[in-house]
């Protein structure tokens, strides 16, 4: 079955399942110009990403470098106002070194809004012509990197959608693929059972420490990773939500902990530690679900499995989002937005294994070019904000040690 | 006998999860005992499998998900009004009464 997968080969050996032109604004002041350029190519593979801040941030620089060289990206247009702090020269060099066409437009030097838009559209058009001719090569299941997040969770998420994704993850890890789960703030209360699955005792200690860091961070901010809609849906506490969220990770051995933007060593299951290091700065770790998806992409995820109970509708720029709906009532209300009806487990119409296998089949179809519901609907949300991280310790990736 | 609308996720649990919404005044059977619901409860909400004392851990998936803040009778809705997190407090928005929660 995996013999049918085809990908766009990249210089670093990775393969893309999409071939998009990324238009990246490097400060909010260039956002409008970016929107106008992309608007010309509605329905085509031209996606807008960007960073709004004018203050320098190592994390944001690293994230943009990883996103601009994501395997699904074939060419990159950088949009600068001209006076912002973002290091556009370094970003451009990184993209060029990856073998991708890259072009920078600076609004202050390129004639202002209208002329920058015109030049940007012309450059994107040229890239699209070239990308349409790009050849694909066979791709194996073990070359895929798959992330998972959950959002708009309710009392069904942890019973149907999350464990079904866990089954799909077990099958993917067994096949040699790389799987990433995340949101240590939604693993509070699960630290001990999770640590039991670590590849080494040192990694187990790191897993516990990452959740303890999240608990401290959220306690300082005064709110857990828990929205009012979670309570409406029957969830009462963060640890109850955590137990449900944790089920997405399946039952495979945990091979390591990565920080956002780290490309995991090939194959296995990884936890992404999304909570910043050091003192609490810059506010909440991930201000919305899309910030989580962006971090998954920065660590190389070809697509993200998004489990929802209440009914999130978001997708993402650059890589597909597969929407797994945990609640059968929500599925009936939002069927056009949902790729998988996992809530039928609750109604006795399917087993967890059935839905897990369906998700795996869908991953292969999407990797082969089939559009997800959010892609069909044109969802291309993107958000990147300030964070700070320290490098992960050697115990976090034992296979690299 | 226990009602098929009630899902027991682990034998250790002291709560059931509702597989579907149950209306106000409807009766659920727990261990051959009938319990009448005073309010409608939506799918995914929890009810007590047995009487739970204040301070007792609430167990779901066989794991503690918080502690009781009040005595909870068998069959009673278990939620933010009678349990609390042992980590971070749960934040909810105050609603106007006439606005339904769903």
CATH of the domain at B56: 2.30.130.110
Residues recorded for chain A: 401
Interface test with B, best of A155, A160, A236, A328 (most B CBs within 10 A): A236
User: Is B56 in contact with B67 (CB distance < 8 Å)?
Assistant: yes
CATH code assigned to A20-133: 3.40.50.2300
Q: What is the pLDDT of residue A2?
A: 45
pLDDT digits (tens, 9 = 90+) for A99-154: 999 999 999 999 999 999 999 999 999 999 999 999 999 999 999 999 999 999 99
Q: What is the pLDDT of residue A4?
A: 78
pLDDT digits (tens, 9 = 90+) for A60-97: 999 999 999 999 999 999 999 999 999 999 999 999 99
Chain A residues with CB inside 8 Å of B83's CB? 236-237
User: Is B2 in contact with B29 (CB distance < 8 Å)?
Assistant: yes
Residues recorded for chain B: 102
If one counts every other C-beta atom within 10 angstroms of the C-beta of residue A93, the result is 13
Residue ranges covered by each domain of chain A: 20-133, 141-396
Chain A residues with CB inside 8 Å of B65's CB? 189, 236-237, 239-240, 243
- Which of B19, B63, B83, B8 minimizes the C-alpha distance to A187? B63
User: Is A141 in contact with A130 (CB distance < 8 Å)?
Assistant: no
The answer to whether residue B38 is domain-embedded is: yes
Is residue A365 pLDDT above 90, yes or no?
Answer: yes
User: Predicted confidence band at A3 (pLDDT cuts at 50, 70, 90)?
Assistant: low
Interface test with B, best of A152, A153, A155 (most B CBs within 10 A): A155
pLDDT digits (tens, 9 = 90+) for A195-230: 999 999 999 999 999 999 998 998 888 877 788 888
Question: How confident is the prediction for chain A on average, in pLDDT?
Answer: 95
- Which of B67, B54, B51, B39 minimizes the C-alpha distance to B14? B51
Is residue B79 pLDDT above 90, yes or no?
Answer: yes
Is residue B97 pLDDT above 90, yes or no?
Answer: no
Does any CB of chain B come closer than 8 Å to the CB of residue A155? yes
If one counts every other C-beta atom within 10 angstroms of the C-beta of residue A371, the result is 13
Does any CB of chain B come closer than 8 Å to the CB of residue A159? yes
Give the span between the Cα atoms of B63 and A177, in whole angstroms. Answer: 30
Q: How far is CA B87 from the centre of its chain?
A: 19
If one counts every other C-beta atom within 10 angstroms of the C-beta of residue A287, the result is 12
Is residue A1 pLDDT above 50, yes or no?
Answer: no
A327 → closest Cβ in B43, B80, B88: B43
Q: What is the pLDDT of residue B101?
A: 46
Interface test with B, best of A166, A187, A234, A241 (most B CBs within 10 A): A234
Is residue A37 pLDDT above 50, yes or no?
Answer: yes
User: Predicted confidence band at B90 (pLDDT cuts at 50, 70, 90)?
Assistant: confident
Segments forming the whole domain that contains residue B41 = 6-84
pTM, whole model, 2 decimals? 0.93
Q: Which of A166-180, A257-271, A280-294, A368-382 has the lowest mean pLDDT?
A: A280-294
The answer to whether residue B100 is domain-embedded is: no
- Between residues A266 and A293, the one the model is more confident about: A293
Q: What is the mean pLDDT of residues B36-60?
A: 96
User: Predicted confidence band at A401 (pLDDT cuts at 50, 70, 90)?
Assistant: low
User: Is A223 in Cβ contact with B44 (below 8 Å)?
Assistant: no
Number of domains in chain B: 1
């Amino acid at each position: 079955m995996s013999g049918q997968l085809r990908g766009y080969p990249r210089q670093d050996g990775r393969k893309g399942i999409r071939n998009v032109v990324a238009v990246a604004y490097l400060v909010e002041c260039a956002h409008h110009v970016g929107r106008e350029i992309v608007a010309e190519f509605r329905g085509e593979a031209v996606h807008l990403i960007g960073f709004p801040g004018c203050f320098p941030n190592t994390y944001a620089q690293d994230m943009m470098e990883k996103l601009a060289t994501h395997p699904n990206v074939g060419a990159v247009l950088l949009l600068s106002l001209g006076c912002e702090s973002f290091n556009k020269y370094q970003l451009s060099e990184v993209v060029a070194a990856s073998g991708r066409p890259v072009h920078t437009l600076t609004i202050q030097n390129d004639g202002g809004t209208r002329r920058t838009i015109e030049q940007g559209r012309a450059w994107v058009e040229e890239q699209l012509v070239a990308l349409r001719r790009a050849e694909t090569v066979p791709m194996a299941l073990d070359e895929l990197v798959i992330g998972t997040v959950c959002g708009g969770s309710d009392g069904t998420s942890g019973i149907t959608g999350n464990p079904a994704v866990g089954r799909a993850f077990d099958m993917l890890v067994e096949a040699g693929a790389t799987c990433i789960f995340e949101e240590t703030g939604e693993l509070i209360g699960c630290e001990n059972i999770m640590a039991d699955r670590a590849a080494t005792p040192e990694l187990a200690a790191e897993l516990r420490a990452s959740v303890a860091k999240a608990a401290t961070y959220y306690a300082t901010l005064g709110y857990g990773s828990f929205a009012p809609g979670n309570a409406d849906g029957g969830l009462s506490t963060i640890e109850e939500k955590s137990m449900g969220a944790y089920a997405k990770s399946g039952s495979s051995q945990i091979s390591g902990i990565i920080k956002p933007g780290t490309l995991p060593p090939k194959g296995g299951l990884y936890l992404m530690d999304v909570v910043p290091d050091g003192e609490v700065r810059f506010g909440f770790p991930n201000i919305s679900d899309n910030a989580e998806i962006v971090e998954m992409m920065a660590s190389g995820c070809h697509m993200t499995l998004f489990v929802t109970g209440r009914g999130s509708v978001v997708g993402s720029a650059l890589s597909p989002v597969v929407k797994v709906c945990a609640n059968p009532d929500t599925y009936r209300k939002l069927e056009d937005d949902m790729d998988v009806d996992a809530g039928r487990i609750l109604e006795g119409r399917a087993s967890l294994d059935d839905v897990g296998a369906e998700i795996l089949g869908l991953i292969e179809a999407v990797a082969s070019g089939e559009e997800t519901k959010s892609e069909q609907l044109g969802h291309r949300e993107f958000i990147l904000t300030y964070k700070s991280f320290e490098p992960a310790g050697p115990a976090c990736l034992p296979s690299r040690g | 006998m226990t009602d098929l609308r009630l899902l027991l996720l682990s034998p250790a649990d002291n709560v059931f999860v509702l597989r579907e919404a149950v209306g106000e005044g409807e009766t659920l059977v727990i261990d051959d005992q009938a319990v009448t619901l005073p309010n409608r409860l939506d799918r995914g909400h929890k009810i007590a499998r047995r009487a739970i004392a204040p301070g007792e851990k609430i167990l779901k998936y066989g794991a503690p998900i918080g502690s009781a803040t009040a005595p909870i009778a068998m069959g009673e809705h278990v939620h933010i009004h009678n349990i609390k997190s042992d980590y971070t407090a749960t934040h909810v928005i105050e609603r106007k009464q006439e606005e339904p929660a769903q």
